[in-house]
Amino acid sequence: MPREAGIKDGTGKPAARSNADGGRAARAQPGSKRPGSKPAGSKQAAAKKPRTRSENLAQLLESEILSGAIAPGVRLDEQSLATRFGVSRTPVREALRHLASSGLVQIRAHQGAIVKQLTLTELLEIFQVIAELEGLAARLAARRMSEDDKNRLKHIHEVSLRHAHGREERAFFEENNRLHDLILDASGNKFLIARVHELRCRVEPYRRYVTRVAGVMEKSVEDHAAIIAAIDNRDGAAAHDCMRSHLTMLGADAGDFVAVLSMMDQTRELFSEQGKAPARSPRAPRRPRATRPADAGS
């Protein structure tokens, strides 16, 4: 039976994958030992275990979903994906099941898999939880962040400020993530860090779209300045309140997300007409005027 072709990235080139044969020729014979060698059952040996085709494929699809290249609501056809990545439908099916277990994909009977689209209520509820968790992270960071990391935080803020003024949405989003990650890591709470990352994955595509809503980047850098000042002064209570206010959707104008969901429909229409992701997603419409600008996780 012929072997399956390796997973490709859609351009015809093999996708990055672990080296399944790495060091095979150099392995010691049974019973022999090498200086500094680890037992066969060690964690180090387990870490070098190559990923399967389905795991590689799941990682590629996850990256495209989180980056917004595949929009929420888009159908993931097994045969199309198998053809695109040069594999059979079996690893595709396994990859989609893995993504479904993480909440990024929804599998419906007799309908196949689609990228999970959250309702407005679900978005608001998830951001409410993220706001509380990241507020706690900011409180802990105010007590634990080193002076070197505080300087890094200020530098990231200065860079993101330039991107906001230049309306460089993609670059701003990346710097925004770096700023939030630095504060989160400075909390020193591994369980908290893991829970925040899990929830962020659920809303990552929406956070990218919301960055494009008029006024969000400008409001975000103002909020970041207040958060940084509180951390710099080791004021945990203020850091918590500023971060929570920065992220919370409770009581804020829901117009931002209404605009985002409208844009998702436009994007899905483009997918349907073109059969592939557009090079650039359409810009979100301007949001309705609200009494308080809502920051949607930027």
Judgement on whether residues 73 and 133 belong to the same structural domain of the protein: no
- Region 231-247: mean pLDDT is 96
Q: What is the separation of C-alpha 216 from the centre of its chain, rounded to a whole number of angstroms?
A: 19
Please give the pLDDT value at position 187: 97
Given a cut of 80, is residue 269 above it in pLDDT? Answer: no
Residue 219 belongs to domain with CATH number: 1.20.120.530
Please give the pLDDT value at position 127: 87
CB contact at 8 A, 297 and 207 = yes
Q: What is the SS3 assignment for 74? A: coil
- Region 104-124: mean pLDDT is 84
| Residue in the block written with tokens 């609200």 | 290
Which of 99-103, 196-200, 251-255 is predicted most confidently?
Answer: 196-200
Judgement on whether residues 167 and 254 belong to the same structural domain of the protein: yes
Domain boundary among 71, 92, 115: 115
What is the spatial distance between Cα 237 and Cα 234, in angstroms, rounded to a whole number?
9
Judgement on whether residues 209 and 262 belong to the same structural domain of the protein: yes
Judgement on whether residues 151 and 93 belong to the same structural domain of the protein: no
Is 249 a member of any domain? yes
Judgement on whether residues 124 and 270 belong to the same structural domain of the protein: yes
- Cα torsion 152, 154, 156, 157 to 10°: value is 170
| Residue in the block written with tokens 């059979």 | 88
Question: Which has more pLDDT, 121 or 42?
Answer: 121
Please give the pLDDT value at position 182: 98
Of all residues in the chain, the percent with pLDDT exceeding 70 is 67
Given a cut of 70, is residue 289 above it in pLDDT? Answer: no
Domain boundary among 72, 97, 115: 115
Given a cut of 80, is residue 190 above it in pLDDT? Answer: yes
Other beta carbons less than 10 A from residue 197's beta carbon: 12
User: What is the pLDDT confidence band of residue 272, given thresholds at 50, 70 and 90?
Assistant: low
Write down how long the chain is: 298
Strand 112-115: give its sheet, edge to edge: 75-76, 112-115, 105-108
Please give the pLDDT value at position 237: 97
What is the spatial distance between Cα 3 and Cα 6, in angstroms, rounded to a whole number?
9
Given a cut of 70, is residue 211 above it in pLDDT? Answer: yes
Residue-range definition of the domain harbouring residue 237: 120-274
Is 266 a member of any domain? yes
Of all residues in the chain, the percent with pLDDT exceeding 90 is 37
| Residue in the block written with tokens 């906001």 | 164
Question: Which has more pLDDT, 72 or 75?
Answer: 75
Judgement on whether residues 250 and 236 belong to the same structural domain of the protein: yes
- Region 181-204: mean pLDDT is 94
Given a cut of 60, is residue 124 above it in pLDDT? Answer: yes
Q: What is the SS3 assignment for 133? A: helix
Given a cut of 50, is residue 281 above it in pLDDT? Answer: no
If we measure between CA atoms, which residue out of 134, 245, 131 comes closest to residue 182?
134
